[in-house]
Amino acid sequence: MSDLPQHPLIDPSTFDLIVVGTGLPQSILAAAASAAGKTVLHLDPNPYYGGHFATLPLHDLTSFLNSASAPSLPSPPLASYDNQDYVSVDLQTRPLYSDVEISSYAPEVLQEHARKFNIDLAGPRVLFCADKCIDAVLKVGVNQYLEFKSIDASYLWDPNGKLVNVPGSRAAIFKDKSLSLTEKNQLMRFFKLVQQHLDPAEDSENSKISQEDLDTPFLEFLNKLRLPQKMKSIILYAISLANDDQNDHDVGKNRLLTKEGIARLALYHTSIGRFQNAQGALLYPIYGQGELSQAFCRRAAVKGCLYVSSIGSILTSESFKDKFDDLADSAVVVNLLVSVGFCQGQFGTVSFTPMPDGNLNYDDLLDATFELFQKMYPNEELFLETTSAGVHQDDGEES
């Protein structure tokens, strides 16, 4: 075995779960499995946490884009060694982009301000104070590793090329000088209708939105209420965070249904006031979205998860598959050099986590991750409750 790479051997060499990549889904799985008492090995070929969900400084972005768009090389044949006890398996990276062309129109300006910002690789996302991601952060207790910035105001770019403030509460609606009295009354009536529909104490059918309306596109329901275009844009894109042009009938399944829009409105209003120091409904990790992956990894490490990074293939016993067939959650690993693979699916004992999607929130991604954990460990609870009180704001206080 003289041709083996000179990396230290992993001890212990037997794990219940091996997680490849430190993206947000993988990090949540590692933390959940570790919390459930599983022995977990967490691998990443990169020197940074987060994978496709990382937050990178500008000077690291170009190299990432080049590597993330490079076509995967054909997998080499499995290499065995002199004593036939081990086999090297190369795991291919799934490119994030099909093609990338990098241009810089003001390199001097970018270089001057490069230290003032970072780039979220998974795209712009926001966190509602009461959404699934923040609930998971609090339930797991990773809030102690994170700081958040309250997004105190949000704006909508209107067709006239102006930024329009988004009123998020009744008080904000009445204070908004850009809204006419008629628009304020229309918006208040709409929010009252939504509140009555969601109120479990309301038994009257007249106070509920009909099932027929709930199953129609949200835009059609807003048109039925004769709301002006400005109000519809605020409700659809600034509060409900619809990703696509809702006037485009070719959007198909991406058209927001009324029942989904109502649920998002409820989330928006539930988020306002949840935390003492957060004035609005939205939060943002102060050092970028990549901090979420790091926080879950730190929690996994506290629970005994072993981390190995910056290496590129896997060396295991030739009976790797046979052992998985016999023991669904056990594998013997001797020395590890792993390249991360990203896709979504499940094949026997090998599971693949979801890629970044185009959404402005993590809901679909978290649903897929939670479902995958339950399929892997149907008898285990996804995280036990902790006594975490709130999230840390950048003023140093907990709210």
pTM value surpassing 0.85: no
Question: Rg for the chain (alpha carbons), in Å?
Answer: 24
| Equal fold, 14-103+110-148+285-376 vs 153-279 | no
On whether the CB atoms of residues 216 and 258 are closer than 8 A, the answer is yes
CATH homologous superfamily of 153-279: Guanine Nucleotide Dissociation Inhibitor, domain 1 (1.10.405.10)
Give the helix/strand (H/E) hosting 148: strand 148-151
Q: Which has more pLDDT, 146 or 124?
A: 146
What percentage of the chain's residues is helix, strand, coil (to nearest 5)? Answer: 40, 15, 45
Q: Give me the CATH topology for the region 14-103+110-148+285-376.
A: FAD/NAD(P)-binding domain (3.50.50)
The per-residue pLDDT for 337 is: 29
Mean pLDDT of 299-310: 92
User: For the chain, how far is it from start to end, CA to CA, in angstroms?
Assistant: 56
| Structure confidence at residue 123 (pLDDT) | 83
Higher pLDDT pick, 136 / 345 = 136
Which stretches within 9-102 are classed as H helix? Answer: 24-35, 58-69
Of 99 and 341, more confident: 99
Mean pLDDT of 243-249: 80
The confidence score (pLDDT) of residue 94 equals 67
Average pLDDT over residues 164-176: 78
Distance of alpha carbon 356 from alpha carbon 202, whole angstroms: 39
Q: How far apart are CA 399 and CA 278, in angstroms?
A: 8
Domain range summary for the chain, segments of one domain joined by +: 14-103+110-148+285-376, 153-279
Handedness of CA 275, 277, 384, 20 (dihedral sign): positive
Section 366-390 average pLDDT: 81
Decide: 205 and 211 in contact? Cβ < 8 Å: no
Confidence class for position 285, pLDDT limits 50, 70, 90: very high
Among residues 216, 218, 299, 304, the alpha carbon closest in space to that of 265 is found at 218
Under 8 Å between Cβ of 100 and 68: yes
Q: Is the pLDDT of residue 264 over 50?
A: yes
pLDDT of residue 350: 59
Output the average pLDDT for the chain.
79
CB-based contact 285:59 (threshold 8 Å): no
Locate tokens 């052992």: which residue? 323
Phi, psi dihedral angles at 163 (to 5 degrees): -85, 125
Which residues 6+ apart lie within 8 Å of 169 measured at CB? 269, 272
Angle between helices 132-140 and 24-35 (to 10 degrees): 40
Q: Is the pLDDT score of 396 beyond 60?
A: no
The pLDDT score that the predictor gives to residue 324 is 42
* Residue range 19-28, pLDDT digits in tens: 888 999 999 9
Q: In angstroms, how far apart are the furthest CA atoms of the chain?
A: 83
